[in-house]
Structure 1
Amino acid sequence: MKNKIVLFFSLCIVFLVLSFQIPVFAEEEKNELELAPDAQSAILMERDTGKIMFDKNAHKKLPPASMVKIMTLLLIMEQIDKGELKKEEMVRISENAASMGGSQVFLENGEEMSVDDLIKAVAIASGNDASVALAERIAGSEEAFVAKMNQKAEALQLKNTVFKNVTGLPVKGQYSTAHDMAIIAKELLKYEDITTYTSIYEDYLRKGEKNEFWLVNTNKLVHHYQGVDGLKTGYTNEAKYCLTATAEKNEMRVITVVMGAETIKKRNKMTSNMLDYAFNQYETNQLYKKGEKVEKLQLLKGDNKNVNIVTSQSISTLFKKAEPLKDVKTEMTIQDDFQLPLKKGDKVGVLKIMKGDKTLSETPLVVDADVNKASFLTLFKRTIQNMSKAP
């Protein structure tokens, strides 16, 4: 009898403990989910480390609407970085580009506009006509440019993204995910001057002319949330309201994606919730800036035998404010089997950020200039010079 009484009270104690614990755990989970309660899919990512701080159905395939233009802009910025497209270049608008529906800046067939202004039209006003005009300039046709978009998605190992156009207009078989959109945004933000476009709240095309066009940013958070300076909104009846946003505060840049919100107000509120959470809870410590020299590479058979190895992007560590990250070290690996020529931006190594045996991040190291094979005459001169220096 005594044993039964002890067992009874023991069970009561266990029940009481569990009854107090369950609401605590449930409340923590509830608060986490309330960051984006009305989104079909959402994600919060720190840019430098790629660390995901929050996600909801992040790998769910959904129509991305005009957020497709993040990939469009990525390929445009790559071309500018390579020197194959100049911002001051004038682009002739085709009849096909001028005929685009949806969001547009009313480009006219045969009109010429600078690359710089066309990028503004895409980044600020989500101009479908400007997107197609730039795609045709780079690849010859929209179809050929879309092929490049899908090739880039494959290179970024995005398994749940397929592009069918450069605009995001509804089309069967075009889909992406919050996760994949965040990865594309992370890649785009390597080109740091992209935010000089996406942060503009209002501007003009053809200013002072009869057909002057007022550009107003479709991302109102650029105006209403301090630190937000991009990136791209989206809306179709099928996709509902979408937004890939980025903001920077105290040298920490974060990326948020919301897909499938019922209203603009709900979309912006959920984005703000995620940004507040990131900046209130986390901090970063920047270790390297983008393009910072970490080593010098000597290539005896190159026309430029001394070339700098630099970081391909900003490198940071991320930690909760209450738990600073300690005992972090770097580990650099440089390839030893180079094939010439090398192009500016080609990967030649990796920089790892380590904490103990755990790898926190891996960042490609690249060369900061082109290196071609040295001519026979150059190699001959170097040989003579080396011989003359010998004792």
Structure 2
Amino acid sequence: MKLRTIGVCAMVGVAVLFLAHLAPLEAGAAKGSQPSAHASLTKSRPLDYQGVRPKPPRVNLHSAIVVNYDNGKVLYAKNADLVHPIASISKLVAAMVILDKGIDLNARTTISKEDAYQSSASHLRPGWEMTLSDLMYTALMISDNRATRALARAVSGNYEDFVKEMNLKAEQLGLQNTVFYDPTGLDSRNVSTAHELAIILNQAYKYDLIAHITSLKEYSVTFKQKKRLRTLRMSNTNRMLASPYRVLAGKTGYIEASSYCLVTLLQNAAGERVTLVVLGASGGRARFREARKLADWAFKQIG
């Protein structure tokens, strides 16, 4: 993936690199709060929509689920318990593992050549020095794989031990169909189900920092490059931020094996909240169109 540099501005010893509207790099900061208990969402069952008005929309997805966040009721489900690659949605669990450690996110680390994986695109370069906080923003907002691997290495010493901690986290959440082989989601063996991803997102939302980062439209992080400070401006990959609903948390994902995926927690003007998971959409924009259709329908059911 080729990066587009919009411009470079000098500022009193600080060079600012403007990268507006960064392209998603899906599997392609302040300490978060610890959740008090894991989600109570029960195993999804076949739903009977007879008598439901309006009928649920037709969606072109491998699987999906929509849940009333406030009472755990499943409003819509399609193949919700079928296993599917989850791509960069894996980064939500990676973020929880990092925050569970209670480490100082103001600590700094340097991007290494080993942080590159499978020649995946990245907005970061080896030698750049960044805080763990800024790496969290970069991993969750623009799905940067190199940022995620740098975090894993910095907090656990190596990638393998970090992945073990991710799988332990899945076990602690009671997830039976969620498995991780790498921190980023580039490995197609990172799998879950729509149902279990709803649980993961609901849990991730309870971490203040994850909720904050994933609900931002734009953000800037700083890094050191050859003793010069630079700034990287980022736009969130979750285009539901442009919808009429408030995004409380979320994460996008894409690799060839998963197609286009999204998990997002939305709130309407009345304060009602739904957890929405769409897996296997036909295109990047299509996942947001399908998610919007399901969200519009779901809020009508709640209201």
TM-score (norm 1): 0.59
1:56 and 1:29 map into 2 onto residues whose CA distance is 18
Give 2:79's aligned residue. 57
Deviates more, 1:99-108 or 1:51-60: 99-108
- Cα deviation for residue 163 of structure 1 reads 0.6
2:208 and 2:75 map into 1 onto residues whose CA distance is 23
2:180 and 2:116 map into 1 onto residues whose CA distance is 21
- The yes-or-no answer on 1:86 pairing with 2:104 is yes
Counterpart mapping for 1:152-163 below 5 A: 152-163=169-180
2:273 and 2:120 map into 1 onto residues whose CA distance is 31
Number of matched residues? 251
Describe the shift of the 1:117–1:273 C-alpha distance in structure 2 as closer, same or farther (beyond 3 A).
Answer: same
1:134-163, CA deviations, whole angstroms, 9 ceiling, x for partnerless residues?
A: 111221111111111111111211111111
Q: For the Cα contact (< 8 Å) 2:179–2:192, is it kept in 1?
A: yes
- Cα deviation for residue 96 of structure 1 reads 1.1
- Cα deviation for residue 26 of structure 1 reads 6.7
Q: For the Cα contact (< 8 Å) 2:205–2:249, is it kept in 1?
A: no
- Cα deviation for residue 29 of structure 1 reads 9.2
Q: For the Cα contact (< 8 Å) 1:98–1:106, is it kept in 2?
A: no
- The yes-or-no answer on 1:261 pairing with 2:284 is no
Give 1:151's aligned residue. 168
Give 2:16's aligned residue. none
1:256-293, CA deviations, whole angstroms, 9 ceiling, x for partnerless residues?
A: 110001012321122112222232222xxxxxxxxxxx
Q: For the Cα contact (< 8 Å) 2:274–2:295, is it kept in 1?
A: yes
- The yes-or-no answer on 1:167 pairing with 2:187 is no
Letter in 1 for 2:55: N
- The yes-or-no answer on 1:224 pairing with 2:243 is yes
Q: For the Cα contact (< 8 Å) 2:205–2:248, is it kept in 1?
A: no
Q: 1:119 aligns with which of 136, 140, 144?
A: 136
1:49-88, CA deviations, whole angstroms, 9 ceiling, x for partnerless residues?
A: 3322111100111111111111112212323xxxx31232
- Cα deviation for residue 27 of structure 1 reads 8.1
Q: For the Cα contact (< 8 Å) 1:103–1:125, is it kept in 2?
A: no
Describe the shift of the 1:48–1:101 C-alpha distance in structure 2 as closer, same or farther (beyond 3 A).
Answer: farther
Give 1:215's aligned residue. 234
- Cα deviation for residue 234 of structure 1 reads 0.8
Give 1:200's aligned residue. 216
Give 2:204's aligned residue. 188
Letter in 2 for 1:91: T
Describe the shift of the 1:61–1:44 C-alpha distance in structure 2 as closer, same or farther (beyond 3 A).
Answer: same
Q: For the Cα contact (< 8 Å) 2:249–2:266, is it kept in 1?
A: yes
Letter in 2 for 1:220: R
Q: For the Cα contact (< 8 Å) 2:90–2:190, is it kept in 1?
A: no
Letter in 1 for 2:243: H
Give 2:38's aligned residue. none
Greater RCO between the two (CA within 8 Å, min separation 6)?
A: 2
Letter in 2 for 1:31: K
| RMSD of aligned Cα (Å) | 2.4
Larger Rg: 1
- Cα deviation for residue 207 of structure 1 reads 7.6
Give 1:179's aligned residue. 195
Describe the shift of the 1:28–1:223 C-alpha distance in structure 2 as closer, same or farther (beyond 3 A).
Answer: closer
| Unmatched tracts of structure 1, length 5 or more | 1-24, 283-320, 322-391
Q: 1:140 aligns with which of 152, 157, 179?
A: 157
Give 1:359's aligned residue. none
Q: For the Cα contact (< 8 Å) 1:103–1:126, is it kept in 2?
A: no
Describe the shift of the 1:207–1:170 C-alpha distance in structure 2 as closer, same or farther (beyond 3 A).
Answer: closer
- Cα deviation for residue 232 of structure 1 reads 0.6
1:295-314, CA deviations, whole angstroms, 9 ceiling, x for partnerless residues?
A: xxxxxxxxxxxxxxxxxxxx
TM-score (norm 2): 0.75
- The yes-or-no answer on 1:275 pairing with 2:295 is yes
Letter in 1 for 2:94: T
1:94 and 1:266 map into 2 onto residues whose CA distance is 35
Q: 2:145 aligns with which of 128, 134, 144?
A: 128
